[in-house]
Structures are given as structure tokens and as C-alpha cells.
Structure 1
């Protein structure tokens, strides 16, 4: 799936990050969403590697990256902690300045990475999200119904962990099918990787901690620098068949957090890079090659 890429594990100050890297040119970090891992980029990473040094990483708690112990505030799974991992990973690879594309949870980490490491992130692409603070502050029945998992996963340990862990395959099938509009988007080998990693009880727990952090400490961190708009260019893409673009004015929501925002819909459901790889690749190349 990643011909020509090298698999690595890099120790950061807070976790061990598993990744694949390949290609040459300017650095481009790819971050995955829930409930997936870096393999979600398999359809477009090789093409991106023709132009960039591509780093496709598993977030802490996901895939084959480590699952650090948590605390009462869920700080080890804050987007700040996850972003710090990625800043250290890129430094370890000798890439001081780089671009970032993130999908879903990875886009939230990418946003915090660009916010906390302004001198290093040169361009940011966020796929199928509005800013976390915007989504929580405008929660209503429509949002809570479509994104019920946000409110399920933040329940106290270990209610969601036990319920998901009772049948992780059923839960994964439901999530991919609920959000995806193209059942052919997930080849057997890719699905098997998702299931292998998500069947790990430590991954289930860590992913719940990710959402618990988003409902608490992440909001506090966002509020502290809400007025400090990003200076780097931002590309916002969303699935034309999905919920985010129907519910939010995505570009306007990002203009509250960044000075230079562009983008538009991709003909897909939630999983842009897998459901509409050609269109997603074209949009990313046009943005990152400027």
C-alpha cells in the first residue's frame, strides 16, 4: 500500500509514534482520523510522495503508536500533547518547516500543531471538520444526533470502553458505514488493519480519552488563544454527501481561526481520501504546491 515508504518508530517526550515516510521535497505530514490510523492515506500518499517528503503517522493512542497513561484531566490526550508528538517527530526526521493535512481527529491535532508551532507549519489542510470549539458551542439536536459518539465517548471510564470492547468489529463496521457513502472505499487489507488496531482494548480506551480531552482541556486551550488567528494559509475541504458541510458554513467557521482560508466540497461522504481520492489529491496538490 505504501510502496517505497519506510516504516519507523520515533520516541517523543510523551509517546512512541509509528509512521511511514517516503518521497522527497518539502515536508508534508499526514494525520488520520477516528477510528482509523495512517493507512487511511494509502490511496494518495504515493502520489503526494512524488512532490513531497511525506510522513504518514499514527496519532498517540491509535494504530501502532503507544498509548500513554492518562490522568484526571485527560491531558495526555489533549490535542496539544498530540501536536507536540508530531512537532518532535518532524524534528527527529530533520524537517524543521513543513505542511500538514489532517482528517477528522487528525485535523484537530493539525490545527493545534499550527497554532502552537507557528514558525514551523507553513500550510494547513483540514478535512471534514469545523473547529472543535465552534462545534461544541453551537451544539443542538441535529449535531448531537449525527455526532452522538462525541457525547458517548466522553462518558466516564469505563462505560464506553466496555460497550465498544464487547464487539469492536460491529462498532467499527457501524462507524465506517455510518459516515462513509461508498462501501468500496475500504479494501479488505485496509479494513483488516483498522480492525486489528481498533480491536486492541488500549486503543479503544485511548480513543475515548481523545474525545474526553476534546470536551474539556482542549476547549480551555482553544479559548486561551481564540483571538490569535493562524497566519499560514488554510485549506478546508469537506464531504459533499456528509454532515459537516450541511450543518456549518465551513469556510466562515475557519475564518474565525485563520486569516487566509479557502476550500470547498469533495464528492464524498466523511472519508474524503478514501471515497474520492482523485479529487482529494487534486485539491491537496493544488494547495500544497504553491
Structure 2
């Protein structure tokens, strides 16, 4: 899906194999996907960025074709901290001790944690269509609970969501991919087939569910510790969100929420992507790409 200029990458870090693709030449850029997708969500963006950058699009642990380790009793195996450490180690193994990172959805939450845990590794970061995890849980109302029902469903103890989703996994996947202001047709057929292939695997579904269990428990503990220690995003940051998505409906401007977590609020820029819901990199990849190119090139 990425063209002949990309090659597969498989690197074992701390006993977990991380899969992805690599292509292009120039400064390194790491692309991280969200739920319930994999690195293939970047198939419209990555080849264009590879004209100027070395692009690595990777699967988070538990997603795509990366390994699916045990979660552990506290779900730490799928904490954003563990996922961020994976990706930092992956880039180091590929010869990139410092890099830019672009994350969407869960990948953006991993990117946020990476910026806090590994500030010396992150040159700049882009966060696509999310609000901070702790902020979301602290501002739950009817609108948030309805739009993000899956947060509360997937965080239920095993094996309730696993069993219920297992009844009709393809139906559930399609409902997810056609939600949050986007339609199922936002996804290219070949990308959709990849998501379907992975989601058909009960082990993959369990791993994705553990991601949400971690977010409702140990990730919040990590966020609280970072906040108490004065942790802030230090690198230049781009925040983008879809015009029709859940983030856009937040009563506070998303960029202002993120600026409250920045060491230098003036280093954080961003705005809305017109005509797109949650899956903005697929629905309006032209404007999303333009914003990323400007930011990565220091023009944003």
C-alpha cells in the first residue's frame, strides 16, 4: 500500500517484536496509528512525507502485526508508557536517537507519553484528534459518555468485552471505523481488509481491549505522577482535529486544552481539518498532509 520505496521493518525490543514499514530519506519521522487500525492508516500520508523524510510507520504492541504480550494484572503491558518505550527503542535500533513523531488517536496518546518520558528523543510532535486522556475522564458528561462509549465498555474486566465482541467482530469493527464523524467509506478497501484481517484474531482483539483497560487505570496513575512532578510537553507541538469529530464538539478549544500542558504554550499550534471526522488522515489527507509538512519543515 505504501509503494515500492518502502520496506518492512521488524525489530525486537525488550522481548516484543514491533512491525512496521520504512521508506524515504532525510530527517526521521515516526507515524503512530490509533484504534482499531494499524500502520496502514498512513498509506496516503507516508509516501508523500517520504519525499523529504525517512518515514517509519509502526504498529503499536498488540496492534497490526506487532507482538501481543501479556498485559499483567495491572495492565501495564499495554500502558502508553510501555508502548512509548517500544517505539523509542525501535527508532534507536534503526539509527534514529532523535526524531519527530506524528500520532493519531491511541498513537497520539502514546506520543504524549513519549514526550513526557523521553523528551530528549522527541524533536517535535503532532497530536491528531485527541484530548488528553486524564482530561477526557475528568470531563465526562452525557455527550462524552455517548460518543466515547467504547472507552467504558472496553475497560470492563475480562472477559466481558471479549465475549460480546466475539459474537460479531466484523460488525463491531465496521461500526467503530464508521463512527466519530466519519463514514466507513473513509477507509480505502485495501486498508479496510487489513483491519478486518487483524480484528478477526481474538488475540488481537484482547490486546486492543487491554489498551483501554490500561487507559482507565495505570495510565491515569502515570499521568497524575507526571502532573505532580510538573511534567510538560517541551518540544514544538502541532494539534489537529477533524471538523466533524468528537474533539471538535468539546466546549473548550482543543488547542487551548493542550497548551495548558505545554512548557511553552507559544510553541504549540494547530487547528481544525475541514470536511473530516475522527479519521482525518484518510478523509482529508490533502489538508492533513499540508499541515504536517509545514510543521515538520518548521514553517508551521
Q: TM-score range by the shorter chain?
A: over 0.9
Deviation sequence 1:51-94 (CA, Å, 0-9, x none): 11100000000000000011111001000000000010000000
1:237 to 237, 240, 243: 240
Shift in Å at residue 127 of structure 1?
A: 0.3
Range moving further from structure 2, 12-21 or 72-81: 12-21
Partner of 1:38: 39
Distance in 2 between residues matched to 1:185 and 1:151, nearest whole Å: 25
Partner of 2:289: 281
* Structure 1 segments unaligned to the other structure (5+ residues): none
Shift in Å at residue 182 of structure 1?
A: 4.3
Distance in 2 between residues matched to 1:27 and 1:84, nearest whole Å: 17
Deviation sequence 1:125-165 (CA, Å, 0-9, x none): 00000110111111111100110000000000010011112
Range moving further from structure 2, 97-106 or 131-140: 131-140
Is 1:123–1:234's contact at 8 Å kept on the other side of the alignment? yes
Distance in 2 between residues matched to 1:147 and 1:219, nearest whole Å: 17
Partner of 1:249: 253
Shift in Å at residue 41 of structure 1?
A: 0.3
Partner of 2:175: 174
**Counterpart mapping for 1:1-290 below 5 A:** 1-3=1-3, 4-226=5-227, 227-247=230-250, 248-258=252-262, 259=264, 260-267=267-274, 268-290=276-298
Distance in 2 between residues matched to 1:159 and 1:75, nearest whole Å: 20
Distance in 1 between residues matched to 2:188 and 2:290, nearest whole Å: 22
Distance in 1 between residues matched to 2:129 and 2:296, nearest whole Å: 18
Is 1:180–1:275's contact at 8 Å kept on the other side of the alignment? no
Is 1:14–1:85's contact at 8 Å kept on the other side of the alignment? no
Shift in Å at residue 184 of structure 1?
A: 3.1
Distance in 1 between residues matched to 2:195 and 2:161, nearest whole Å: 19
Scaled by the length of structure 2, what TM-score is found?
0.95
Alignment: residue pair count: 290
Distance in 1 between residues matched to 2:15 and 2:34, nearest whole Å: 20
Shift in Å at residue 14 of structure 1?
A: 4.2
Is 2:8–2:19's contact at 8 Å kept on the other side of the alignment? yes
Shift in Å at residue 178 of structure 1?
A: 1.7
Distance in 1 between residues matched to 2:183 and 2:211, nearest whole Å: 27
Deviation sequence 1:173-226 (CA, Å, 0-9, x none): 101112353443212111100000111101110111100100111011111111
Is 2:134–2:223's contact at 8 Å kept on the other side of the alignment? yes
Distance in 1 between residues matched to 2:97 and 2:136, nearest whole Å: 32
